Amino acid sequence: MFDRFQFDKKNENERERQLESLQKRLYEAIAAHNNIREAQISHLPTEEEIKEFEKINIPKVGRNAIEVEEELMNYVFNKQILAQHPRFFSFVSSAVSPYSIAGSILTDIFNANAGSFNMSPCGGIIEEKICAWMGSLAGYKADTCSGIFLSGGSISTMSAIIAARTNKLNEFDFPKGVAYLSEQAHSSVRKALRMLGFRNDQVIIIDTDDDYKMDVKSLEEAIIKDKEEGRIPFLVVGTLGTTNTGSIDPLSEIGDIAKKYNLWFHVDGAYGASSLISKKHRNSSSGIEKSDSLTWDSHKWLMQTYSCSTLLVKNKQTLLDAFVEHPEYLEDVSSTDHIDGWDKGPEMSRPNRAIKLWFTLQATGTNLLEEMIDYTFNNAIIVENELNKRKNWEIISKPSCGTINFRYAKEGMSPEELNELNLDITKEINESGFAYIVTTTLKGKKAIRMCMINVNSTEEDIISTIDLLDKIAIRLTSKI
Ligand SMILES: *Cc1c(COP(=O)(O)O)cnc(C)c1O
């Protein structure tokens, strides 16, 4: 499995022994991980342990590899928050497929550079096939769409904005371009625009309605006003599955407005695009086929390890226009029949992040995946039903894409006291170690947010978590 460096002759036998033992330990780590339910969700190093670890410096003389591995296990891997635990209900975090882990390890071992198609032709075909499959689920035509696997939703969306800017604006007009997004859009969209040099006044934040969906009337008014003032609206970003509430913007109407005013329409589906796999839930995203590009993170809902995101575009030429460069040192390895990775995105050297997803799709099949997605949608509905059975719980956002927000709202408490109380409730449940939940703020209210997309969460996990939340809330308010 491991290559031996030719220099390493001095302690050859000892090295050999250590490497063999290391291979065994890797298998053991995989086996231990299968028992994730038994692991502590949040098991962080103590301050002393952090201080101890900080004392380790980069050595001049190599150390015993087994010692290094043990150190990593003790301080790093066994002392972290396990977002893939079945009772971790924060962020947007699913279970990890064992096939993703296998695909990821294999990809690392053979370490092909996926910048070039020719370095690993069938690896390149895997990426193309998955992009065509995802594109067709979004309603793009498989033969004219394209896509690329990138590190995460943030970089995928940034790349989409680069394509949008190249496609819709003359270089001299960059300072006049205006982009539109809702106040519920992910922070990475604003960050990408800032990284690309857009000023704050070129980024217009559109209000949302009671369901946290973009208000399309405000969108159109803002576009008309900016045009009248001589600015150039060039991009609107809709979200399929907002991070706070799992809401889906009215994609069809946004698409129509984008077409009417000649804007690029990007959909941030980092979290929610995986719902397109479900026949039952795909309709909620109708109109997505009107978009020009789509961000889809498989490390969110499709059980992939970090990192695994895809940027899809309806028209492959738009990616080429934005990203192709022809350096002399790549002439011999550039492809003619296929598009090289480095011509479709910002990265040059990169791992083939599609392989682990391919492994998962092949070994799981889309029927089972669809069942898994539907199952997780229902988990948020179980939460809602359980809350409705208990007193004083107020639903703040209805289940959408497997996410629900709520709070304990006992009568007689002020808005500030309620905010404080709900923070305390989550703090306590996290300290208990039983489950992990964080809050967010929605229209001024502190809300307990549960994202239920882990396929390993059972009904019992959910009910016992709600029971515990209820017990904590009752105790904290017993004197009121
Ligand atoms: C997580 C998320 C992102 C950011 O994606 P990364 O992969 O973390 O960079 C963007 N948009 C939405 C809606 C998200 O949920």
> 181-239 pLDDT, tens per residue?
999 999 999 999 999 999 999 999 999 999 999 999 999 999 999 999 999 999 999 99
Instruction: Determine whether the shortest distance from the Cβ of 309 to ligand 1 is under 6 A.
Output: yes
Query: What is residue 6's predicted lDDT score, i.e. its pLDDT?
Result: 67
pLDDT beyond 60 at 1: no
Query: What is residue 84's predicted lDDT score, i.e. its pLDDT?
Result: 95
SS3 of residue 265 by DSSP = strand
Query: What is residue 96's predicted lDDT score, i.e. its pLDDT?
Result: 95
Query: What is residue 32's predicted lDDT score, i.e. its pLDDT?
Result: 84
Other C-beta atoms within 10 Å of 161: how many? 24
More confident call, 5 vs 283: 283
Instruction: Determine whether the shortest distance from the Cβ of 186 to ligand 1 is under 6 A.
Output: yes
**Residue-wise pLDDT tens digits, 259-315:** 999 999 999 999 999 999 999 999 999 999 999 999 999 999 999 999 999 999 999
**Residue-wise pLDDT tens digits, 315-343:** 999 999 999 998 898 888 888 889 999 99
Beta carbons of 476 and 425 less than 8 angstroms apart: yes
Cα(77)–Cα(43) distance, rounded to whole angstroms? 10
Query: What is residue 281's predicted lDDT score, i.e. its pLDDT?
Result: 98
| Angular region, 101: left φ>0, alpha ψ -120 to 50, beta rest | alpha
Instruction: Determine whether the shortest distance from the Cβ of 268 to ligand 1 is under 6 A.
Output: yes
More confident call, 333 vs 88: 88
Average pLDDT, the chain: 96
Q: Going by C-beta distance under 8 Å and a sequence separation of 6 or more, which residues neighbour residue 355?
A: 103, 104, 106, 107, 123, 126
Query: What is residue 5's predicted lDDT score, i.e. its pLDDT?
Result: 65
- Taking CA atoms, 196 is separated from 60, 64, 200, 373, 390, in Å, by 41, 45, 12, 35, 49
Beta carbons of 421 and 408 less than 8 angstroms apart: yes
Comparing CA positions, the residue from 160, 134, 163, 177 lying closest to residue 324 is 163
SS3 of residue 475 by DSSP = helix
What is the pLDDT averaged over residues 7-23?
84
pLDDT beyond 70 at 470: yes
**Residue-wise pLDDT tens digits, 39-72:** 999 999 999 999 999 999 999 999 999 999 999 9
**Residue-wise pLDDT tens digits, 119-173:** 999 999 999 999 999 999 999 999 999 999 999 999 999 999 999 999 999 999 9
Instruction: Determine whether the shortest distance from the Cβ of 271 to ligand 1 is under 6 A.
Output: yes
Q: Is the pTM of this model over 0.85?
A: yes
Other C-beta atoms within 10 Å of 81: how many? 17
Residue 151 Cα: closest atom of ligand 1? 7
Q: How far, in Å, is the centroid of ligand 1 from the Cα of 155? A: 9
Query: What is residue 218's predicted lDDT score, i.e. its pLDDT?
Result: 98
Instruction: Determine whether the shortest distance from the Cβ of 93 to ligand 1 is under 6 A.
Output: no
Beta carbons of 449 and 405 less than 8 angstroms apart: yes
